[in-house]
Amino acid sequence: MLVLVLLVGAVVIYMFGDDISKFIETLSEFPETHRKGCGTGCLAVVLTGVAFVYFAHVMSEKEKKAEKARVVAEEKQKHEAEVRRSEMKIEKIKAFALKEMPSAWRTYQSIQSEIDVQNGKIDDLSNSLRSFDRNPERDEDFLRIRGLRDTMVQTRDTLWKRLEDAYLAAKKFEAAPTSRNNEELLKKALEEGISEADTAAKTFKEMRLEK
């Protein structure tokens, strides 16, 4: 009997889904002779099966929604934590660079600002080409302009790496102020950072003159 109850309930859920009211409405529309023929016991079995399986179905859906909400919340928390870590790292490098190598930081900011501008222009150019049924990936001028932007990105990333190296060298020097090796490491890191900034500034200036 239990198997029959579950089977009937499952079939009803499959046919009517979440809208169980449609099943009740359909059941009420059965001709009275059919309902009498089925008998009270038959109807009881059907309704019991429907109620049991529908309850299980609803609970399952609630559990799925709760799990999905939990995963989304965890992903959001991870993303926010990653953003905070990134922002904290940038602030540390910025504070250090402004104190020890301000010209390098100014160069980094200038390149980053130009990259932001170029990204907007490239997106606009891409949309313009597509609006005239042109493929940006096959347009030589578009590829050249994007290539210049990519060179800027590489220059920025290299400079940032030097800034990180200098910051970490300073932390090592602070941890062991009597170590001559760390003092030389810090001096070398600062010199390389400043040199890289000069190179980046020169490259950036040449690229702007080429436009």
pLDDT digits (tens, 9 = 90+) for 5-37: 444 545 544 454 455 555 455 555 444 544 444
Same domain assignment for residues 124 and 43: no
Residue 88's pLDDT is 93
Task: For residue 184, tell me if it sits in a domain.
Answer: yes
pLDDT tens, residue by residue, 94-131: 998 898 888 889 889 999 999 999 999 999 999 999 99
Same domain assignment for residues 136 and 175: yes
Tokens standing for 206?
A: 């040449």
Calpha distance 93→108 (Å, rounded): 11
Give me the domain span that covers residue 20. 2-74
Same domain assignment for residues 67 and 113: no
Task: For residue 86, tell me if it sits in a domain.
Answer: no
Residue 54's pLDDT is 61
Q: Which letter, b or e, does each residue of 8-32 get, where b requires 16 or more Cβ atoms within 10 Å of its Cβ?
A: bbbebbeebeeebeebeeeeeeeee
Higher pLDDT, 94 or 193: 94
Task: For residue 187, tell me if it sits in a domain.
Answer: yes
Q: What is the dihedral of CA 29, 31, 33, 38, to 10 degrees?
A: -50
Higher pLDDT, 160 or 209: 160
**Number of independent structural domains in the chain:** 2
Task: For residue 82, tell me if it sits in a domain.
Answer: no
Same domain assignment for residues 13 and 51: yes
Same domain assignment for residues 116 and 38: no
Calpha distance 11→53 (Å, rounded): 9
Same domain assignment for residues 123 and 185: yes
Contact 137, 143 (CB under 8 A): yes
Task: Check pLDDT > 80 for residue 179.
Answer: no
Same domain assignment for residues 62 and 115: no
**Which range in 29-33, 55-59, 106-110, 193-197 is most confidently predicted, on average pLDDT?**
106-110
Same domain assignment for residues 55 and 124: no
Task: For residue 200, tell me if it sits in a domain.
Answer: yes
Q: Computed from CA positions of residues 143, 144, 146, 150, in that sequence, does the dihedral angle turn out positive or negative?
A: positive
Calpha distance 206→163 (Å, rounded): 22
The letter for the amino acid at 151 is T
- Among residues 57, 74, 91, the one where a domain terminates is 74
Residue 33's pLDDT is 46
Same domain assignment for residues 61 and 126: no
Task: For residue 121, tell me if it sits in a domain.
Answer: yes
Higher pLDDT, 95 or 61: 95
pTM of model > 0.75: no
Structure confidence at residue 55 as a pLDDT band (50, 70, 90): low
Task: For residue 80, tell me if it sits in a domain.
Answer: no
Calpha distance 106→111 (Å, rounded): 9
**Which range in 1-15, 55-69, 78-92 is most confidently predicted, on average pLDDT?**
78-92
Residue 112's pLDDT is 93
Same domain assignment for residues 136 and 184: yes
Same domain assignment for residues 61 and 7: yes
